[in-house]
Amino acid sequence: MKYDLVLVRFGEITIKGRNRNRFEAMLLTQIKQALIAMPALEYVRGYARAYIHLNGESYEQVAARLKDIFGIFTFSPVISSTQELETIRERSLELMRSLNPAPKTFKVSVKRGWKQYPHDSVEMNHLVGAHVLRNTPDLKVDVRSPEAELKIDIQHENTYIYCEVVKGAGGFPLGMNGKAMLLLSGGIDSPVAGWMAMRKGLKVEAVHFHSYPFTSEEAKEKVITLAKRLAYYSGKIKLHLVPFTELQTKLAQSGHDSLIITLMRRSMLKITEKLAQQSGALAIVTGDSLGQVASQTLGSMNVIGRSASLPMLRPLVMMDKQDIIGYAERIGTFQTSILPFEDCCTLFVPKSPATNPDLKLVERIEAHLGDEFERLIEEAVQGTEVLVLREDGGLEVDGERKEEDAWF
């Protein structure tokens, strides 16, 4: 079937009250940016929806991109018609005949946005349905559970006919709810947490801690690849690569083996908060899932989270691992996440890490480390390397564009 246009329905942003216009305008801008490689497309913004006129462009290519744009609730491939009854009936029959596989049952659902149309919705259901039945002998009507629902939307300017409703990513347009820093490891969870944060309208900057030479260049490149995948959803993403070797070594030498993970993660939050201040971010996103490892018990999350004053956002905290894996597969990060390269979180792991650490003891250890602890944190911040990964796979380092092959 050669479709004329795509009907895009907005999601949660339709309940934004006086801010709704701003949200819808941003979403349409982001849709245009995502489809910029197809210049023939034309866009018309309607009430709680948008129409994308294909003008010969591939519906399949447009649909593949629309599925991943945050803020879109659903969309449908549409054939258009004039308001004449016979034209609507012929176009409806044309669409029903094109469905593959051919349905055995159907029903017609007519909606009249243009109330002056001479036939009401019930009449139109019969007028169109009877025409389709007469010309499709094997088809029957089933109003309760049809295999296909022929939807006809009669508006003042045009009539839109479609059967398929495709689910979008949902959420809010990217960046409309502010900016947050994402702790991005090489594992399965944190990229999913980043995707979920972006889905709720947050612009995200990723922060990765590496302990070269204890961690390899492959581990670093693995994280860059994950960030690159997240950039597909956001247009581009900034990745902060934090040197963690000296600070991590110092913590490992503190003589408190069971608390190393707690101390390490508190240090990461302190560093991330300083980077957030530089970037104007107002929250920290983590891939924590309650009870998954020792650092993600309620007691550990309490002690670790108290090292930062910014709000801690944990999108995965109540999810099962299998559900998280399902999301990782869906957003295209799973195969990279399972590559067997160690990151700094797997170094110096004690045999019996604390699952319910004592906050006062942890604070005393940090105080005992004194000025050197603060110096190492500041040096880690100052030594951070910043990459900007673009949707097209390109790379910028400190604002300067570099060739992709130099890094991937």
Q: Is 208 annotated as a binding residue?
A: yes
Q: Is 256 annotated as a binding residue?
A: no
Centroid of chain to Cα 43: 23
Q: Is 214 annotated as a binding residue?
A: no
Q: Residue ranges of the chain with pLDDT lower than 70?
A: 347, 397-408
pLDDT of residue 112: 93
**Can you list the domains of the chain with their CATH numbers?**
5-167 (3.30.2130.30), 179-397 (3.40.50.620)
Q: How does strand 385-390 pair with strand 400-402?
A: unpaired
Model-level pTM? 0.90
pLDDT of residue 397: 66
Q: How far apart are CA 10 and CA 27, in angstroms?
A: 9
pLDDT of residue 403: 41
Q: Is 45 annotated as a binding residue?
A: no
Type of residue found at 197? A
pLDDT of residue 407: 28
Q: Is 18 annotated as a binding residue?
A: no
pLDDT of residue 1: 85
b/e burial code for range 15-35 (CB count within 10 A of at least 16 → b): eeeeeeeebbebbbebbeebb
Q: Is 184 annotated as a binding residue?
A: yes
pLDDT of residue 398: 58
pLDDT of residue 63: 98
Q: Is 263 annotated as a binding residue?
A: no
Asked whether the beta carbons of 286 and 193 are under 8 A apart, the reply is yes
Q: CA dihedral in degrees (62, 67, 72, 77; nearest 10)?
A: 50
